[in-house]
Structure 1
């Protein structure tokens, strides 16, 4: 795709991505997404031109609005379009700061309003069902020894539900990140920002059992790795493997439409707020930069209250 860009546009994208990585400390996947968004914009606008031009130096607000309209007609999700809009707006602002442009045509660019669909969550009984199933798998069929992979899966789910951390944050945990004396773990989140989050008593117990019994049998004589959670070959577990474990558990529930490993993050946040946790505390726990993001879960709690009210109140 980059071959269709002018050399000037390609150079600007490279320079901007370097800026995001080394000055803004943005996550690698964020930079990859923004690069793709900028290349897509330049490529699409180049196709509309009779002769080759440097798109980013000449693009107008009307050009950007027509481009967004095209994306809308193509059936692209609102969330993706919103991200692309943010990427273009921030990039254009950077061009102005670099004196490459004197105006920011994307300053008034507005994407269509995102869907207000609430995130899927599990009930407390569904969480108990998942954990009971994992506990049952810990014993091998002959019940003579513990199943190390089942110990790992149990510990991963307990930590995810206990803390609400992201799947990539779970995969990135090292042994030194755990403080058992205080029942806390140090988590490295987006932009390499670190935070310390508490662990529940069951999560601590599951982690200790995995580290003392399960992990040594998995790593065996393989090269040492500081990672807490390992794949079957002894290396750090990948995000895809964690997703497969959680998705398998969700499918076994059978009575929920919830899917994806992120449902445990949504569930942890919602259950905390249901239990009376302070919104700011939940924001810190989840690593949200904006309180507005965390407030979404208050709507989930209110909706659950409304549903329970309708089912229980005789005049609802």
Structure 2
């Protein structure tokens, strides 16, 4: 049975990579979800994918809920398996899709966390640009907040991707999609100092590479490294609470919309394939405006 699943999974992965052009990150999620279902099949003594029934799917759902997984996680697993079977149906490798009648649980409505403009100012104050690492940290924060790019995208940026003459950066996004994103004068100044001074010193005597951001050893900076930098800056600042890298992306979108940017422009800058992904920020900005009103209007 395991061999049966592995062979069909390999075909499906090739389809995702070649025809759908999905990113490696997305493909890994599909592989994990299908591998987990394969273990369930072994436990239930189901010999082959074509013998999975709707009843089996309901039992699988029950086991997922018993593990107290978030609704979003359950929905992703069901969506992955539904897509897998849809592909198998297309290739005439199975006769029916047992996941087609299963309703995907609605995800909890959770608004993205973001920094207020005053909080962003405190975060920038925590960047001491008198040192090489401080120059890197300031350039990193300015670029993340100034462009709204994902941390994974930021870590992939090469020196050649940054055009200082026109203040734009070439971003390699999800699904191998590329987009040019502009950045402002603050990011431009911070990047100039970092590239000409801080990065040069951090790379001195190390194996050369062309990644824009480097760690304290001079090697390429990773997403984990970015998280550690942000946590350190939070501890140095007057801010309290937790921070995650995506908060800077959320802050970028929220502040643009709050200051009058149109939804389509923000969608393009964020690299969202669908406008619905960007529309979540309208709820954030409404709450932002409400809090601002309650804090500042004399009759609130």
Scaled to the shorter chain, the TM-score interval is over 0.9
Partner of 1:226: 210
- Aligned runs of 1:1-316 on 2, under 5 Å? 6-49=2-45, 53-54=47-48, 56-134=49-127, 137-139=128-130, 147-253=131-237, 255-313=239-297, 316=300
Preserved contact between residue 122 and residue 258 of structure 1 (Cα < 8 Å):
no
Compute the displacement of 1:82 (Å): 1.7
**2:143 is paired with a residue of what secondary structure?**
helix
Aligned residues: 300
Return the TM-score normalized by structure 2: 0.95
CA RMSD of aligned residues (A): 1.6
User: For structure 1, which segment, 21-30 or 260-269, has the greater mean C-alpha deviation from structure 2 after superposition?
Assistant: 21-30
Preserved contact between residue 170 and residue 178 of structure 2 (Cα < 8 Å):
yes
Structure 1 pair 304–250 and aligned structure 2 pair: CA distance change class (3 A) = same
Compute the displacement of 1:113 (Å): 1.2
**1:138 is paired with a residue of what secondary structure?**
coil
Preserved contact between residue 121 and residue 258 of structure 1 (Cα < 8 Å):
no
Return the TM-score normalized by structure 1: 0.90
Compute the displacement of 1:254 (Å): 5.4
Preserved contact between residue 68 and residue 111 of structure 1 (Cα < 8 Å):
no
- Which deviations, in whole Å up to 9, do the C-alpha atoms of 1:266-305 show, x marking residues without a partner? 1111000001111011111111111111000110000112
**2:126 is paired with a residue of what secondary structure?**
helix
Partner of 1:142: none
Which consecutive unaligned segments of at least 5 residues does structure 1 have? Answer: 140-146
- Which deviations, in whole Å up to 9, do the C-alpha atoms of 1:33-76 show, x marking residues without a partner? 11110011121132122xx501x212123322321222122111
Compute the displacement of 1:251 (Å): 4.0
Q: Distance in 1 between matches of 2:110 and 2:236?
A: 25
**1:151 is paired with a residue of what secondary structure?**
helix
Preserved contact between residue 136 and residue 198 of structure 2 (Cα < 8 Å):
yes
Q: Distance in 1 between matches of 2:261 and 2:70?
A: 33
Preserved contact between residue 247 and residue 261 of structure 1 (Cα < 8 Å):
no
Q: Distance in 2 between matches of 1:162 and 1:210?
A: 16
Which consecutive unaligned segments of at least 5 residues does structure 2 have? Answer: none
Q: Distance in 2 between matches of 1:251 and 1:38?
A: 40
